Structure 1
Amino acid sequence: MQPTKIHFVVIYRPPGQLANFLEELDVLLSSFPEDGKPLVVLGDFNIHQDKPQATELNDLLASFDLESLSTTATHRLGNQLDLVFTQNCTNSNILVTPLHVSDHYFVQFNMTLPSTLKQTPPLVSFCRNIRSLSPSRLSTAVSTTLPTQNVFSTLDVNTATDTQSSTLTTCLDNICPLSSRPACTTPPSPWLSDILCEHRTDLREAERRWLKSKDPEDLEQAAG
């Protein structure tokens, strides 16, 4: 499994009117791709949760499927100013701890990230160009590679079968090697029956004959 990547947005908003803050935050969040990666938006928003500004902020973040972590007060005066919003992850063990060096408290929590599986490698199909295979060449290669008749006749059935199969495979690989190409992932068309496939094959063969001969009769066959 590959490690999950996380998008983090850390915010400090000075106290005062919202001005263009929500519009700028909207533009920023819209710049992140919707690829399923966890997104964490946190920081000192300086927005009291009992004010109309908080409703506007929460509505905006909810439109991005960002969920707010429920915490106690994060400021010495009892206000919840330090906010955490997360997307595509699970949170637990939320703890708010007062600090001696700041009037803001320390917010900590555990995140459980979704696992990311490795991408499946593309499917590959293998084939041989049998049309280019010379039967006489294959026959000669097999006959010269197989053991002599006297040796072959002394082999038991299983050994003789394995020897013949491996010899045929080796000769095919040398004369007509396998080639690879991306496998077709598109499901077959339900209307393309076996009969239509045969007709299409015949028409393509007739077309190839006409391209070589330029004979009008071949052209008629190619035209169906």
Structure 2
Amino acid sequence: MGKVTDSLLSGAVGKVGNLVLYKQKGKTFIKQKATRSADYKPSKLQLYSNNAFVEVQQFLLPIESILAMGFERFTSGGKRGIHLAMSWALKHAVENEDGIPRLYPKKIKVCDGDLDLSPGMNLVKEEERKYSIYWDVGEVGRARHSDICWVLIYNPLSKKFRLIDEGVYRKRGFLAFTLDPNLDLVGGYVYVAFYRLKKNKARYFSSSVCLGSLE
């Protein structure tokens, strides 16, 4: 790596042949582009890790805005919500099946925090495209009656989702919702959490739980 002193290049950034010019703290630097040997072959572990990364990334990218909200309390040092969600998923939601990474959507976490979930959470289909989520009412651990239920319905196949954040309090014991035709039921999953709104309007979440698929 070298510092550029030539005034003709001091404002340039990008690639020039096998050289890369970039700016850092107002100064322009130049370095040689890293290259791999023509006979380089990634190991089986590297291939597995790369494939697992792609699998998780493709699943989570469509809900990046939701993850930014659900993990906001823990983002720092340039890490965003999607980074934290991917890290969790790679460790807990992907299994090695004969060298092929398999992602289990029910193990995905879409928000995180230290509030308690309510016991007895259950997803019930009431009518066509009409569902209810039920839970036991009680202030167990860090749970409070004033906590708000937070629901994400996400279909990774169509990459569409719906967030339900309508101020239904924990003390109510249930939340009912109807899905419009734009959201496919087949392949859709329901994730639930609770959050508490602090005085500075920051949200303190529980960890999310997947209640299963819609169909």
TM-score (ref. length: structure 1): 0.17
Q: Which has the higher helix share?
A: 1
Q: Which has the higher strand share?
A: 2
Q: Which has the larger radius of gyration?
A: 1
TM-score (ref. length: structure 2): 0.17
